Structure 1
Amino acid sequence: MAHFVIIGAGECGARAAFALREKGFDGKITLVGSEPHAPYERPPLSKAGLVGNVDPKFIAARESYETGNIRLLRGVTATGLDAAAHIVTLSDGSDLSYDRLLLATGASARAFPNAPAESRHIRSLRTYHDAVTLRAVLQPGKRIAVIGGGFIGLEVAATARQLGADVILVEGLERVLKRGVPEDIAHLVAERHCTEGVDLRCGVSIESLTEQGGKAIIRLSNDEAIEADLALVGIGARPNTELAESAGLVIDNGIAVDDRLRTSAPDIFAAGDCCSFPLTIYGGRRVRLESWRNAQEQGTLAAANMLGADEPVSAVPWFWSDQYEMTLQITGLADGAVAHLRRDLGEGAFILFHLDAEGRLIAASGIGPGNTVARDIRLAEMLIAARAHPNPAALTASNVKLKTLLAA
């Protein structure tokens, strides 16, 4: 009987396990997870997961693994991989032989250089355990220092303010959301945080991050020292490639896979945050995406290709972030755009359409309260997938429905 092993019990790995069953695989499936919990959703960790005594939002009920005959190993890590022998070694000393292997090892929060490795007052947010630790500090009278003005840092800052904690956010670049978010939208986000009382410091470098007297101490390049009850480090994530590297797999900003999610070793696939892959819709550009939907989609695609489907990666990238009452959504990759056209949607919501030099729509970015931008971002995603060259005037005219452009 064939045995498929999945290393990594996050969004991607869990989706792949269930997709294998849905696609008719009747062999053995082993899903290996390093955390003590069953697979859970990570996006709520920076939002609802920080509020009150909230349990993880599980991807599937525990009995679903038994019903699906999926062997779920929790609290165990893969410590070795022999690609030639098709054997994975686990931290409990056992070995797993496999016919096909999926590496869905995800990513880990980047540590601040030279900061204490183990500190109650200097934390990151990547796991449910991290969220539980943060909860105790996010309350009135506490001061939280957030290092990094990306999605995680800003979402935690918003949640902390809503819970009554004082927040100071330090970003080394000249603005927040520098990576992949247009300046107009980033400016609106920054204004919203400032209105809520976040002390926002951009263009400021940090000389050191230490712990002293039960506080986190952040020393800036101008010699100012910031004291906080907790410092949250949100400076990005690094792909977990150690296992793949030990087995000699090709690494290129993550585990390098082809457009079918195949690694450089036979019978080994990789998917989700840990891998980089070519996107045909962007000329074969190799990218690595850290997003919830990408993890879902690639888990399903990897399952299909492990079963011989030979289907290429075709999804258009999509990201989202909730902060206060605002939702930010981005589809596509705006690198190389030469035109940025704005469509106002009312209620303070708007979308920016990003076109390349040939007039092709390559990305769209929107922000607004609730779900005000969701429908048009979805239609923009479909236009991007169709490699459309829409009429610029029609894109900006709020009385012209995007659906008509898609039909054209």
Structure 2
Amino acid sequence: MSAGVVIVGAGQAGFQLAASLREAGYADPITLVGDESDLPYQRPPLSKAYLADKITASGLELRPAAYFDDHHIHHRPGLRAVAIDRPGRRLLCADGEAVAYDHLVLATGTRNRALPVPGAGLAGVFQLRSRADADRLKAALPEAQSVVIVGAGFIGLEFAGICAARGLAVTVIEAADRPMARAVSAETAAYFTRAHAGAGVRFLFGTGIVAVEGEGRATAVRLGDGSAIATDLVLVGIGVVPNQELAEAAGLTVGDGIHVDAVLATDDPAISAIGDCARAPSRFADGAPVRIESVQNALDQGRCLAARLTGRPAVYDAVPWFWSDQGPHKLQIAGLAAPADTSVVRPVPAGLCVFRFRDGRLSAVETVDRPGDHMAARRILAQGLALTPAAAADPGHDLKALATGR
């Protein structure tokens, strides 16, 4: 009897693979192993709609429990994988169980980077990765008056927007000279700095913290210059690291992610990797391997791998895109920009539209509150259409017409 496909990781990528396999007619067993006790759920709303009480816990679920039974997907919640027996094609678990596989897929995601300072373990210091993390934050917010956020990335700024809307005093501490420094242009960073500051958020750039202080519970953060900021809630959002230990211990190639080829296969033909943990070559990075943390990437890699496992192999070639809801504004990014890429700002009546260019070629488009421009940018990048910096700067140059060939 076939052992089928075993998927380690019941997040967006792992679930999408299981669903796409069934949609493609895969008839052998599918086992979805997750170390959380919940049904597979969406993570992006945790720092947005869920914290703002605009969506319930059940509303986060990717599918109800009946879906897994109806589609014969064996969901194994609360099961932690600890090793891979490659010669025996078995996944070894913490409870002693060995799960046989014909093909193993690592969709292990990432984990939050820990704050390496004294006091990081005090009560009142939070991270936000799981629904349990979000529930703890939701329980603490009603009692909070002053919030310190360490890290001005997407999660930190989304949470800043939530807190500012509640009338809380919010301070964001960031080691770089601007928010989202690794993700967006200086122009987009400046737009969001102004937007958040206008809502009452205070930024401290070029600053780090050396300690969280308090007796049992955080009451202040100590900065590198010796000053302190009083607070009763600290959120740490200083990036993530890929969960690559299973792959590394099994002798697979890793390095800031599990290395895969253009069809998402690892060194072992019986093992693939997808989602936030996978580092794959991308034409949008000039063929270099990249690890992309986005729902889009998780979904598209799940679909791509399902096609290969059901006899329709194709190179993974989806346009990367991202979004972030911060206060009343929606940031959307299509493509992959490098720090040295130049920026061209298109004059628009509202929001923001920034085109990024590398050696005269469009590499990415950043928009704020302009969904039509974002969709056009995705089509332009997918088709590799030519757009000059001069045309990008011209508001009379119709992006939609270029994207649709009309």
**What's the TM-score, normalizing by structure 2?**
0.94
- SS in structure 2 at match of 1:201: strand
2:398 aligned to 371, 388, 401, which one? 401
RMSD across aligned positions (CA): 1.8
Residues 141 and 310 (structure 1), Cα distance of their counterparts in 2 relative to 1, 3 Å cut: closer
Asked if 1 retains the 8 angstrom alpha-carbon contact of 2:284 and 2:335, the reply is no
Query: What stretches of structure 1 of length at least 5 have no aligned partner?
Result: none
Superposed CA offset, 1:292-345 (max 9, x none):
111111111122222332211101111110111111111111217654222233
Moved more, 303-312 or 258-267: 303-312
> Partner residue of 1:365?
366
> Partner residue of 1:71?
74
Matched, 1:48 2:49: yes
Asked if 2 retains the 8 angstrom alpha-carbon contact of 1:11 and 1:296, the reply is yes
Instruction: Show structure 1 runs of 4+ deviating over 4 A.
Output: 115-118
Matches within 5 A, 1:136-215: 136-139=139-142, 141-215=144-218
State the AA in 2 paired with 1:353.
Answer: F
State the AA in 2 paired with 1:152.
Answer: I
Separation in 1, partners of 2:324, 2:151: 15
Matched, 1:313 2:310: no
Separation in 1, partners of 2:269, 2:402: 43
Asked if 2 retains the 8 angstrom alpha-carbon contact of 1:140 and 1:164, the reply is no
> Partner residue of 1:327?
330
Give 1:404 shift: 2.5
Separation in 1, partners of 2:342, 2:236: 34
> Partner residue of 2:22?
21
Give 1:265 shift: 1.4
Give 1:116 shift: 4.9
Superposed CA offset, 1:73-117 (max 9, x none):
111110111112110011222110000011000000100114456
Query: What stretches of structure 2 of length at least 5 have no aligned partner?
Result: none
- SS in structure 2 at match of 1:184: helix
Asked if 2 retains the 8 angstrom alpha-carbon contact of 1:206 and 1:221, the reply is yes
**What's the TM-score, normalizing by structure 1?**
0.94
Asked if 1 retains the 8 angstrom alpha-carbon contact of 2:117 and 2:210, the reply is no
> Partner residue of 1:247?
250
Separation in 2, partners of 1:275, 1:84: 22
Matched, 1:375 2:337: no
Separation in 2, partners of 1:221, 1:119: 19
1:356 aligned to 350, 355, 358, which one? 358
- What is the aligned residue count? 402
Moved more, 267-276 or 119-128: 119-128
1:284 aligned to 263, 287, 293, which one? 287
Separation in 1, partners of 2:210, 2:297: 35
Separation in 1, partners of 2:246, 2:305: 18
Give 1:229 shift: 1.4
Identity %: 37
